[in-house]
Amino acid sequence: MRTGTLGPQQSYSERATKVWLELCGKKGEIVRFFDDIPDVFTALDEKEIDVGIVPIENSIEGSVGVTLDLLMEKDVTIIGGVVVPISHCLVSKGKTEDIHVILSHPHALAQCRQFLRKNFPNAELRTTGSTSHAARLATEFNEMAAIASEAAAKTYGLNVLLSGIQDWKKNETRFITMVASHNKQQTCVPQEKAANYKTSIIVYLDSDRPGALYEILKEFATRNINLTRIESRPSKRSLGDYLFYIDFEGTIDDENINDVISQIAMKTKKLKMLGSYGEYFA
């Protein structure tokens, strides 16, 4: 099984990937690293990898927009999820007083926004493809620091200047495991029961009219199906035109879930099934 995720080594994405592979009894399997999220989707589409693992949501900063957009654009199916606790560190070759440039993934910088404003108000902030990529770049100059994990600091020979610098102590990122929808072979089956099971869909309403979204949500309420997330994203067709991403408890093996999906499909212009899957915690 060829698995791809964001790299380089010691990214939080790699952590999620290792958890998933271990669940599937494939611990120690070689992982292919990519520079950014679109590259993982492209590799799946072009059959360079069998499984792709990318971040989709953070408890502080919210959803990863590029992942949501690509879930709509690409023909992929979600087969699992992994929730990873995130603890950011400020890491560098130099000392705290030397730091003039701080590097990290945009979401990591956002998760530490208050810390950076208070402690490094004059530092230049630069974005990278992942936290581990930032750590690798920070090895070049003493005045550079990265927001990354303690494991990344060890891997790239950096000092941990400060630990736990995220603005909120409870910081978790949810990752999804995907396969190309044309890949009918079951590439990975977790060997233990998930913490919870859910189904993810995208809906595009047939018209912008009062009560249109309510009619969709009512289908869940009348069947006592719990929604775990609902979010709108621009359809990119016109201003004010939106897609709705909905996660809810249960799988398509449940007749009740099949029924609600059928009813929603009749009330929307488009419904895209992203998958039914189990979610695990690292």
Q: Is the peptide bond before 55 cis (omega within 30 degrees of 0)?
A: no
**What pLDDT, on a 0 to 100 scale, did the predictor assign at position 188?**
77
Predicted confidence at residue 191, as pLDDT, reads 83
Which pLDDT value is given to residue 32? 97
Tell me whether residue 216 is in a domain: yes
Residues 127 and 23 in one domain: no
Q: What is the mean pLDDT of residues 181-203?
A: 85
24-33, 47-56, 62-71: which range is least confident on average? 24-33
My answer on whether 55 and 176 are in the same domain is yes
pLDDT the model gives residue 196: 93
pLDDT of 211: 82
- Using H for helix, E for strand and C for coil, what is the string for 53-99? EEEEEECCCEECHHHHHHHHHCCEEEEEEEEEECCCEEEECCCHHHC
pTM of the model: 0.93
CATH number at 33 reads 3.40.190.10
Q: Write the pLDDT tens digit of every residue in 227-266.
A: 999 999 999 988 888 999 999 999 999 999 999 999 999 9
The answer to whether 261 touches 273, Cβ cutoff 8 Å, is yes
133 Cβ neighbours under 8 A, 6+ residues apart? 7, 8, 11, 35, 105
Instruction: Give the pLDDT band (50/70/90) at residue 275.
Output: very high
Domain-embedded: residue 187? no
pLDDT one-digit tens code per residue, 76-130 = 999 999 999 999 999 999 999 999 999 999 999 999 999 999 999 999 999 999 9
Q: How many domains does the chain have?
A: 3
23 and 94 together in one domain: no
| Range of lowest pLDDT (38-42, 44-48, 143-147, 181-185) | 181-185
Average pLDDT of span 193-221: 90
Q: What is the pLDDT of residue 185?
A: 63
Q: Do 200 and 275 have their domain in common? A: yes
Share of the chain above pLDDT 70, in %: 98
Question: Residue 117 falls within a domain, yes or no?
Answer: yes
- Quote the pLDDT of residue 70: 98
Section 164-169 average pLDDT:
95
pLDDT at 37 over 90: yes
Radius of gyration (Cα) for the chain, nearest Å?
Answer: 20
- Averaged confidence pLDDT in the chain: 94
For 10, the domain range is 3-85+171-180
Q: Residue 135 domain-assigned? A: yes
Looking at the structure, tell me whether residues 123 and 224 fall in a common domain.
no
pLDDT category of residue 189 using cuts at 50, 70 and 90: confident
60 and 175 assigned to the same domain: yes
| Cβ pair 89, 149 in contact under 8 A | yes
Claim to verify: residue 43 and residue 175 sit in the same structural domain:
yes
- Per-residue buried b or exposed e for 147-167, using 16+ beta carbons within 10 Å of the residue's own CB: bbbbbbbebbebeebbeebbb
Q: Are residues 76 and 175 in the same domain?
A: yes
Residues 81 and 106 in one domain: no
Structural domain includes residue 130: yes
Residue at 191 is within a domain: no
| pLDDT score at 148 | 97
Does 156 share its domain with 98?
A: yes
Q: Is the pLDDT of residue 184 over 60?
A: no
Question: pLDDT tens for residues 52-73?
Answer: 999 999 999 999 999 999 999 9
Nearest to 5 by CA among 46, 45, 35, 47: 35
Q: Maximum Cα–Cα distance for the chain, whole Å?
A: 61
What average pLDDT does range 128-147 have in this prediction?
96
Quick check: is 95 in a domain?
A: yes
Residues 47 and 175 in one domain: yes
Q: Could you tell me if residue 188 is inside a domain?
A: no
